[in-house]
Amino acid sequence: MKYSNLKRIIPLTLLASAATFMVAAAAPVTDLNSSSTSSGTASSSSIERLERLINSRNQIQLQLQQQLDGLSEELSEMRGMVERNSYELDQMLDRQRQLYIEIDTLRTAKPAVTVTTPTDPSDKSTGAYATDTNENQAYQNAVDLILKEKDYEGAAKAFKDFIAGYPDSVYASNAHYWLGQLYFSQKNDIEAAKSFAKVVSYSDSNKRADALLKLGDLAQRNSNTAAAKKYYQKVVTEYSESTSAQTARKQLKNL
């Protein structure tokens, strides 16, 4: 009985020992593989995350650089616009001062309607007056629209009507000049040039030097440097001692 039981117990013990050995031996292999896989996955994930961060940073830096380049370009354009506007404002103020000077000159030397006629009616120099009272009054009315009423649009129409009604008037060159001044102030450069060119055609006009100067200003305003130089030099050559010549010399230095 005891021997029989011993024979059954020994195989069972051996079997149990073998099973325990197999389980114990297999466990470390399983844990090692699992740890190695987890470590490899974590390492790969960290590298990918780092690469994404680097790529993201590079992309942000590129975008910031592009924005800075764009802002720099816009700033340069704005600086150029400010400088150009400042130059144009200075030119406009200078032209306005010249206009006021011309108006003051005309105010002090304007013709009176009641003045007696000159001995030579054909004389078109300063101090000549028309024999026609209506002609004198029409011119005086146009001048008053500038000096008294400050109605520049009305003055432009009045001077055009005067020129149409009295094309051979002793005031014709002055009328063309003031019409040109009004167009010039309105930046109607084409009509201004026509009016000033008409003044230049009067070789004995006391406004001829000023008209040549204005033609130079018009050319300069329209970026025609060669034409501007030509007109300014003509003023200097033909009217060297005049105030217009002094202004022309300054303009020539700035070209």
User: At which residue do the structure tokens 């200003």 appear?
Assistant: 217
- CA–centroid distance for 121 within its chain: 51
pTM over 0.75: no
Range list of H helices, the chain: 2-109, 133-147, 152-165, 172-185, 189-200, 208-221, 225-238, 243-254
**Pair of tokens at residue 28:** 């470390």
CA torsion 149-98-102-159 (nearest 10°) is -60
Structure confidence at residue 249 as a pLDDT band (50, 70, 90): very high
Cβ burial, residue 248 (10 Å; 0-12/13-18/19+): buried
Residues 152-192: pLDDT tens digits? 999 999 999 999 999 999 999 999 999 999 999 999 999 99
Average pLDDT, the chain: 77
Structure confidence at residue 56 as a pLDDT band (50, 70, 90): confident
Distance from C-alpha of 130 to C-alpha of 165, rounded to nearest angstrom = 13
Residue 3 has pLDDT above 80, yes or no: no
Level-2 CATH architecture, domain 162-254: Alpha Horseshoe (1.25)
Residues 99-127: pLDDT tens digits? 655 555 554 444 433 322 232 333 333 44
**Residue 66: count of CB within 10 angstroms of its CB:** 10
Residues 9-32: pLDDT tens digits? 544 454 445 444 444 444 444 444
Distance from C-alpha of 40 to C-alpha of 37, rounded to nearest angstrom = 5
**Pair of tokens at residue 8:** 């059954």
Across 38-42, 81-85, 116-120, 239-243, least confident range: 116-120
pLDDT at 153: 93
Residues 218-246: pLDDT tens digits? 999 999 999 999 999 999 999 999 999 99
Helix, coil or strand: residue 206: coil
pLDDT at 49: 82
pLDDT at 38: 54
pLDDT at 75: 84
Rg (CA), the chain: 48
